[in-house]
Structure 1
Amino acid sequence: MQQFDRGGLTFAVREAGPGDGEAVVCLHGFPQGPEAYDALTPLLTAHGLRVLVPEQRGYGATARPAHRRDYALGELVGDVLALLDAAGVRRAHLVGHDWGGVVAWATAARHPDRVASLTALSQAHPAAFGAAVPRSSQALRSAYVAFFQLPTLPERVLLARGGAVLSQSLRRTGLPAALADGYARRHLAPGSLTAALNWYRALALAGPVGAVAVPVTYLHGRRDPFYSRTAVAGTARHVRGPYRRVELDTGHWVPELAPGAVARAVLAAAEGGPRS
């Protein structure tokens, strides 16, 4: 499949692998796009898995609603369910990085019947993240979130000099220059960065994310500047099913810089799992 529709929006999808393979849905974060999983996809399809990587809400011109409420977490989860339905998939293995990890955690918590396993990349469980804010360095690490709440100014700053400011900020967090430049160029399209920032601006509409009962593997980089040790350690308290935490010698950009580790986690979860 190349696209699916929901609520008048059309979402682009990258699909690879055999149509009858177990389905893996990979959800990108901010400010990435589906290309964040380009290195991972062939590692999974080589083992017979069907990989679906959607361009998430706001990241494509045909799925870019105007209002902040359109980016509430419930809408983002609804997009994942619509993708599964359109692809004819009953249950999928979810992989989510950064904001895509938030969506993956919420989908697994609210719709465990549709999720075979969860591989969370960098992103701590949202409840663990919230609990860590007053008890650790998490508030300082997340200070940019408050900046993103401002109207217009974040767009003007990040897109200054043709997106060079955004690219340079990504490089400083360990993302290679070619990828940083590519993500910055993506958001030069009219309305693109505002839509991506609306994920942050709709945080007040997110609602709680409960405990997750499906098998979870949590991969995080020990040099990730965005997540405190308290948030990382606290994630285990919100998983009721089998749980494994893997610390990697990397920073925040796990799918791009450690695709082999991600592939091993997903393949381990898929062994003996239910067919789609």
Structure 2
Amino acid sequence: MNVHLPSLAPLHVAVTPALKMSYYEAGGQGDETVVLLHGFPYDIHTFHEVIPRLTAEGLRVVVPFLRGHGQTRFLRPDTPRSGQQAAIGQDVVDLMDALDIDRAILAGWDWGGRAACVAAAAWPERCTGLVSVNSYLIQDISVAWRPIKAELEAGLWYFYYFLTERGRAGLTANRDDIARVIWIRNSPNWNFDDATFERAAMAFQNPDFVDVVIHSYRHRLGYAPGEPDYAALENLLATQPPITVPAVTLDGTADGNFPATDGTASAHHFTGPRTHHQVRGAGHNLPQEAPGAFVDAIMEVREMASQPN
């Protein structure tokens, strides 16, 4: 691939109980840390324009490749390549432990937003505040069988494709083509160029990418069991635990798959201070399409967290 855009480098490695997590870090080593969490099928360069704006505000920024992406690797060949929500949420806290980060603002979207929501709900003492695109993202797998509007089901075609062995074979052979189709559908107003896509697509060459992605979608729809190591956490998530920390949630008004809301439908999941904003013209990849709005949300939740109870 001929990629001419600058890449985030150098990368570091943190060893957690399950992974060698590859991550980018910038900014100071003070107490205020933001962990930025990317989605599928994307990578850490989603935050390329977000990072310098946060470091200019004096924040330490840590941006990991999620399991199955980039240079992140499993420690052991016999570890199941789980992509379930408990696994990616646990990874966030394990990374913080490895880096001696006591508390951090967690900010993400798509898979990364789900990981942030899981960590914030299950370990509120580790989360200073939360920024999540599309609000509360902890899955209620018990109702995964319920249909949604047909036009929305159509946009989630890959959920069902990945339930089949044809889908596994397709993702193995055509991962870049599938990702590009998802990008276009997710963000119909975002005119990304080939170099931007190719830079992110390097992350999909991870040897565990297919297994992690397939398990993620099969598990969330009830077609694959969770791993025993995450059973206790999944049992907690099945109760739809509230998010008690300060939170800012965002919706892009041009999100091709997840129509923007006013936030009221998910309000009961947030028992701490929470604000919701619509970002005009932004699609699903909101941090890359509207980095200023994403940074503003992080600064807003930082201010919320600084207020006395």
For normalisation by structure 2, the TM-score amounts to: 0.77
1:269 maps onto 2:283 in alignment = no
Q: Which residue is 1:34 aligned to? A: 44
Q: Distance in 1 between matches of 2:255 and 2:270?
A: 22
Deviates more, 1:220-229 or 1:108-117: 220-229
Q: Which amino acid aligns with 2:97?
A: D
Q: Per-residue deviation at 1:180?
A: 2.8
Q: Distance in 2 between matches of 1:15 and 1:136?
A: 41
Q: Per-residue deviation at 1:68?
A: 5.5
Q: Which amino acid aligns with 2:271?
A: R
Q: Which amino acid aligns with 2:133?
A: L
Q: Which residue is 2:17 aligned to? A: 7
Q: Distance in 1 between matches of 2:304 and 2:275?
A: 17
Deviates more, 1:142-151 or 1:36-45: 142-151
Aligned 8 A contact 1:30 1:98 in 2: yes
Aligned 8 A contact 2:102 2:126 in 1: yes
* CA gap 1:76/1:191 in 2 versus in 1, 3 angstroms: closer
Q: Distance in 1 between matches of 2:157 and 2:25?
A: 36
Structure 1 unaligned runs (5+)?
Answer: none
1:70 maps onto 2:102 in alignment = no
Q: Per-residue deviation at 1:210?
A: 1.2
For normalisation by structure 1, the TM-score amounts to: 0.85
Aligned 8 A contact 1:96 1:119 in 2: yes
Map of 1:1-276 to 2, 5 A cutoff? 2-64=12-74, 70-122=82-134, 124-126=136-138, 134=147, 136=149, 138-156=152-170, 159-160=173-174, 163-174=176-187, 175=190, 176-177=192-193, 178-203=195-220, 204=222, 205=226, 206=234, 207-208=237-238, 209-228=240-259, 233-249=264-280, 250-271=282-303, 273=305
Q: Per-residue deviation at 1:62?
A: 4.6
Aligned 8 A contact 2:23 2:63 in 1: yes
Q: Per-residue deviation at 1:182?
A: 2.9
Q: Which amino acid aligns with 2:275?
A: R
Task: Count how many residue pairs are aligned between Structure 1 and Structure 2.
Answer: 273
Q: Distance in 2 between matches of 1:52 and 1:116?
A: 15
Q: Which amino acid aligns with 1:195?
A: V
Aligned 8 A contact 2:256 2:284 in 1: yes
* CA gap 1:8/1:81 in 2 versus in 1, 3 angstroms: closer
Task: Give the fraction of aligned pairs with identical amino acids, expressed as a percent.
Answer: 28
Q: Distance in 2 between matches of 1:233 and 1:180?
A: 34
Q: Which amino acid aligns with 1:19?
A: Q
* CA gap 1:185/1:5 in 2 versus in 1, 3 angstroms: closer
Residue 202 of structure 1 aligns to a residue whose secondary structure is helix
Aligned 8 A contact 2:130 2:248 in 1: yes
Q: Per-residue deviation at 1:55?
A: 0.9
Q: Which amino acid aligns with 2:186?
A: T
* CA gap 1:97/1:4 in 2 versus in 1, 3 angstroms: same
* CA gap 1:139/1:128 in 2 versus in 1, 3 angstroms: farther
